[in-house]
């Protein structure tokens, strides 16, 4: 008997939190999980083997950026994304739709597809959903996302309605065009902050049928509370036997609250980007290592963290690296911030298994860290 792509192993009785496994071409992924972002086939400052040591299971890359440089055919010639970047775990590529639509002044969209200019050299390109599927199949990630239209926030309801309709039509075309065996295809729910439009998007995507479902169009400027209000009903309406991926969310508190609503997968540039700006996640909240109070602090970055950065280096030393713009400073903070979210989601998995997720979430919400995220 063929094993299912996604299987639930535990469900929390006092919330909608789920513990599961997702089978991919490069192994079984344990959910819920956080996925480090490696936009251009690299997580900035991190060796792939180090990522694995930290507990990363899946790395995300972006089809738009890889299409522009080095080119999807170059990645294909290297043996696919995993071989190209030296990563042995699971890979996922976002379609690049968000990146295309974020360049609003250079984009023309019709029901047929989207025309845009390259951010690299200004060259003109046109993508249909079929084109996008061909590109992602050549790149060869284990999981690929449909091409969708992501409206900004705020946006008129009519604009969001059009995006929902168009994304559903493109989803069907992506489903029909996707032929790579062993590669999983996820649809993407749109609908902005309108619950009824979100649920209509879910209905249309569920009718097509996908290996999993991304929940897109959030974290584009709306308040987190507004996002969470509609996220619960969206999760409840999605197929229970498929993974749910909240795209672009890396805030620790939001991750844990979203897990309680039934989300299984997360990604975000937040931990790596803030690290390059000299900021660390911690049990005390965010720490700006440029602050003079750390100049003589010989304690670990976070006393409650067991990552290599925290067990080896002092706050004083890391501040020295940050203020003198030594590249090691950004590397060590990146290592720590990624571990922080990878470890947090590992603890969430354990709490769901033990039937204590409600207590785990309550303890987090009462902690100093929760107030700062």
Which residues participate in catalysis according to the annotation?
94, 267
HEC sequence for the chain: CCCCCEEEEEECCCCCCEEEEEEECCEEEEECEEEEECCCCCCCCCCHHHHHHHCCCEEEEEHHHHHHCCCHHHHHHCCCHHHHHCCCCEEEEECCHHHHHCCHHHCEECCCCEEEECCCCCCEEEECHHHHHHHHHHHCCCEEECCCCCCCCCCCHHHHHHHHHHHHHHHHHHHHHCCCCCCEEEEEECCCCCHHHHHHHHHHHHHHCCCEEEECCCCCCCCHHHHHHHHHHHHHHCCCCCCEEECCCCCHHHHHHHHHHCCCEEEECHHHHHHHCCEECCCCCCEECCCHHHCCCCCECCCCCCCHHHHHCEHHHHHHHHHCCCHHHHHHHHHHHHHHHHHHHHHHHHHHHHCCHHHHHHHHHCCHHHHCC
Would strands 184-189 and 90-94 be described as parallel, antiparallel, or unpaired?
unpaired
Dihedral of the alpha carbons of 21, 24, 29, 34, in degrees to the nearest 10: -120
């Amino acid at each position: 008997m063929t094993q299912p792509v996604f299987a639930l192993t535990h469900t929390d009785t006092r919330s909608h939190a789920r513990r599961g496994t997702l089978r991919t071409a490069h192994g079984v992924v344990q959910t819920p999980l956080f996925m480090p972002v490696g936009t251009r086939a690299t997580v900035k400052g991190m060796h792939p083997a180090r990522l694995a040591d930290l507990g990363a299971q899946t790395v995300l890359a972006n089809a738009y950026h890889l299409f522009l440089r080095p080119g999807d055919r170059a990645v294909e010639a290297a043996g696919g994304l995993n071989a190209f970047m030296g990563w042995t775990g699971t890979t996922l590529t976002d379609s690049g739709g968000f990146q295309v639509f974020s360049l609003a002044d250079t984009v023309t969209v019709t029901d047929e597809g989207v025309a845009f200019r390259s951010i690299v050299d200004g060259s003109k390109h046109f993508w249909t959903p079929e084109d996008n599927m061909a590109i992602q199949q050549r790149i060869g990630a284990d999981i690929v996302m449909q091409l969708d239209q992501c409206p900004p926030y705020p946006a008129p309801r009519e604009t969001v309605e059009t995006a929902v309709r168009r994304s559903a039509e493109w989803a069907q075309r992506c489903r029909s065009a996707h032929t790579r065996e062993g590669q999983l295809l996820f649809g993407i729910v749109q609908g902005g902050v309108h619950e009824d439009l979100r649920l209509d998007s879910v209905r249309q995507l569920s009718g097509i049928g996908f290996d999993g479902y991304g929940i897109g169009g959030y974290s584009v400027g709306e308040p987190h509370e507004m996002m969470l209000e509609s996220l619960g009903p969206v999760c409840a309406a999605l197929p229970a036997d498929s993974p749910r991926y909240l795209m672009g969310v890396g805030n620790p508190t939001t991750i844990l609250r979203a897990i309680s609503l039934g989300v299984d997968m997360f990604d975000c540039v937040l931990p790596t980007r803030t690290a390059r700006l000299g900021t660390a996640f911690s049990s005390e909240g965010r720490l700006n290592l440029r602050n003079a109070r750390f100049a003589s602090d010989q304690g670990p970055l976070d006393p409650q963290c067991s990552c290599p950065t925290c067990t080896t280096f002092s706050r004083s030393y890391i501040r020295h690296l940050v203020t003198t713009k030594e590249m090691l400073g950004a590397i060590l903070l990146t290592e720590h911030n990624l571990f922080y979210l990878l470890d947090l989601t590992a603890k969430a998995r354990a709490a769901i298994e033990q039937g204590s997720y409600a207590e785990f979430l309550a303890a987090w919400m009462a902690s100093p860290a929760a107030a700062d995220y």
